[in-house]
């Protein structure tokens, strides 16, 4: 572009008046040019500023669509480091920082500058060591206080296939859920022997292996009892003896296992009483079971409730007990512990009664020694002698007469059967008509 100065000079140097108008026009054109150039400059600057402001207004927030002031976290000194005490309240996001979360650096969860859209799921930040076998809800078992805070697990375990009872409530998780695989929490076997095989093999009193015990511990033990020890009754906590061929009833329920299962012998244990109670049988003296030749089947006389009272069923013998005999002590008939061969006739026991009776005198009257001829087992009186079995059956008024009216002075044997021998006085005293004078 030619210099304005040179243009003006070349035109004005001539100094001619005829050229004055030309110079004036040139100056006007120059003024207009500078004015337009200045206006163009101003417009350009304003346009650039407007564009810059538009870019700022349309700029995206580096942390996503969050309505948080920058100075809540940053300072005017620099973007980093952040404020020592953030003004930002995380609970405003709907995810309250508690427990271990309160001490975690932001970048542990927010791995990029974009904070929005961060998942609240535990597995988004925490590696699932259970490989998805327990679901994604870590809070079902764990708390924000730490992974080892297992305060929630007991309640969760109660809803599982294996509720924790008794001693199991105090066992550490890794005792059953071993480190062999941290995923070993589902589909574990429920059999006791899986965890307690070492206990089974190491037990010597009784020796479980030698005795051939089942590896199903619950057959003898109960998880409701703390430990393997016996329960308060002396019986093993969970073993149901009624499932065997020898149910425990009465006193057998309180007997220690070792009293019957000697030397840890369980299989093939005899069920008959004598095999366990031989010493009791031999040492009993009242009555003496050995000399009395008693049956070795204890159940004949005793029950499982106690040795006494004995409940011998005398009806099983040739002499059933009836009447007063039912209340008589055994020794009254079985003298000196003699049971076998005891006589069944009345006189063998009642000889003294027979000899001491005076009304009527059984000895002088020559009464038969078969007591049942006149008496029953209910009582001595009233006697029930059947006169029809003699040569003088009682009929009519004779049926109501007392024995002594005919059998004077206790004389029974050889009593005359003719009427006059008893009715002589009646004959002699009759006057209407007078039997004697007539």
* Model pLDDT for residues 161-191, shown as the tens digit of each residue: 899 888 888 888 888 887 665 567 777 888 8
Within a domain: 364: no
Beta bridge partners of 55: none
Mean pLDDT of all residues in the chain? 82
Cα–Cα distance, 186 to 109 (Å, whole number): 29
Q: The tokens of 244 are what?
A: 């065997």
Residue 13 within any structural domain of the chain? yes
User: Does residue 64 sit in the same domain as residue 113?
Assistant: yes
pLDDT digits (tens, 9 = 90+) for 221-248: 877 776 676 543 444 555 778 888 899 9
Out of 94, 118, 142, pick the residue that ends a domain.
118
Report H helices in 307-411.
330-333, 346-356, 403-406
Report which DSSP code applies to 211.
Answer: T
Q: Does 271 reside within a domain?
A: no
Provide the pLDDT confidence category of residue 4 given band limits of 50, 70 and 90.
Answer: very low
* Residue 285 bridge partners (DSSP): 288
- Name the token pair of 5: 């100065």
**pLDDT tens-digit map of 299-320:** 888 999 999 888 888 888 889 9
pLDDT at 377: 92
Please report, rounded to a whole number, the percentage of residues in the chain having pLDDT higher than 70: 87
Q: What gap in Å lies between CA 150 and CA 363, rounded to an integer? A: 98
Task: Give the pLDDT confidence score for residue 418 in this predicted structure.
Answer: 94
Residue 40 and residue 68 share a domain: no
Inside any domain, residue 349: no
The band of 33, judged by pLDDT with boundaries at 50, 70 and 90, is confident
Last residue of a domain, one of 76, 95, 118: 118
Is 81 in the same domain as 105?
yes
Domain membership of residue 34 as a residue range: 4-50
CA dist., res. 125 & res. 97, Å (int): 14
- Please give the angle made by the CA atoms of 318, 322 and 328, to the nearest 5 degrees: 95
* Residue 123 reports pLDDT greater than 90: no
**89 and 66 part of one domain:** yes
pLDDT at residue 27 in the model = 74
Structural domain contains residue 164: no
Residue at 77 is within a domain: yes
Task: Evaluate whether 132 touches 186 at the Cβ level (below 8 Å).
Answer: no
pLDDT of residue 235: 47
**Is the residue at 91 inside a domain?**
yes
Distance of alpha carbon 121 from alpha carbon 236, whole angstroms: 49
When divided into structural domains, the chain yields a total of 2
Structural Rg of the chain based on CA atoms: 62
d(C-alpha 2, C-alpha 264), whole Å:
129
Confidence band for 350, pLDDT divided at 50, 70 and 90: very high
pLDDT at position 21: 60
Residue 237 placed within a domain: no
C-alpha 142, offset from chain centre: 28
Question: What is the dihedral sign for C-alpha 321, 323, 329, 335?
Answer: negative
pTM comes to: 0.44
More confidently predicted of 42 and 348: 348
> 251-254 long-range CB contacts below 8 Å, 24 or more apart?
251/304, 251/305, 251/306, 252/304
Is it true that the peptide bond before 414 is cis, omega within 30 degrees of 0?
no
Q: How many CB atoms lie within 10 A of CB 400?
A: 8
**pLDDT band at residue 5 under the 50/70/90 scheme:** very low
For residue 435, the model assigns a pLDDT of 93
């Amino acid at each position: 572009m030619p210099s304005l100065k040179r243009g003006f000079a070349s035109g004005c140097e001539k100094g001619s008046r005829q050229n004055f108008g030309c110079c004036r026009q040139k100056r006007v054109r120059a003024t207009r040019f500078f004015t337009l150039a200045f206006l163009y400059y101003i417009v350009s600057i304003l346009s650039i500023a407007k564009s810059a402001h538009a870019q700022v207004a349309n700029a995206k927030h580096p942390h996503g669509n969050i309505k948080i002031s920058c100075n809540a976290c940053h300072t005017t000194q620099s973007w980093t480091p952040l404020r020592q005490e953030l003004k930002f309240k995380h609970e405003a996001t709907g995810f309250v920082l508690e427990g271990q979360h309160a001490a975690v650096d932001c970048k542990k969860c927010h791995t990029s500058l974009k904070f929005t859209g961060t998942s609240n799921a535990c597995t988004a930040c925490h590696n699932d060591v259970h490989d998805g076998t327990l679901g994604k809800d870590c809070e079902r078992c764990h708390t924000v206080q730490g992974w080892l805070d297992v305060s929630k697990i007991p309640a969760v375990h109660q809803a599982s296939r294996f509720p924790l009872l008794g001693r199991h409530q105090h066992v550490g998780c890794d005792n059953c859920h071993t480190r062999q695989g941290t995923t070993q929490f589902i589909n574990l076997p429920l059999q006791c022997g899986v965890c307690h095989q070492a206990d089974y093999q190491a037990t010597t009193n009784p020796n479980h292996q030698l005795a051939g015990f089942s590896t199903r511990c619950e057959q003898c033990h109960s998880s409701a009892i703390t430990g393997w020890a016996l329960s308060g009754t002396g019986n093993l906590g969970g073993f149901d003896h009624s499932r065997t061929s020898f149910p425990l009833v009465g006193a057998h329920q309180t007997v220690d296992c070792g009293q019957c299962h000697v030397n840890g012998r369980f299989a093939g244990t005899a069920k008959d009483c004598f095999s366990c109670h031989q010493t009791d049988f031999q040492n009993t003296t009242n009555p003496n079971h050995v000399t009395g030749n008693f049956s070795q089947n204890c159940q004949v006389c005793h029950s499982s409730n106690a040795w006494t009272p004995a409940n011998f069923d005398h009806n099983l013998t040739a002499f059933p007990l009836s009447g007063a005999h039912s209340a008589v002590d055994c020794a009254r008939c079985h003298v000196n512990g003699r049971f076998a061969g005891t006589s069944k006739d009345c006189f063998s026991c009642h000889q003294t009664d027979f000899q001491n009776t005076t009304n009527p005198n059984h000895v002088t009257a020559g009464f038969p020694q078969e007591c049942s001829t006149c008496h029953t087992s209910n009582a001595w009186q009233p006697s029930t002698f059947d006169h029809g079995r003699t040569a003088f059956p009682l009929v009519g008024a004779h049926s109501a007469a007392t024995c002594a009216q005919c059998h004077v002075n206790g004389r029974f044997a050889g009593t005359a059967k003719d009427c006059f021998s008893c009715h002589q006085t009646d004959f002699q005293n009759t006057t209407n008509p007078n039997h004697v004078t007539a």
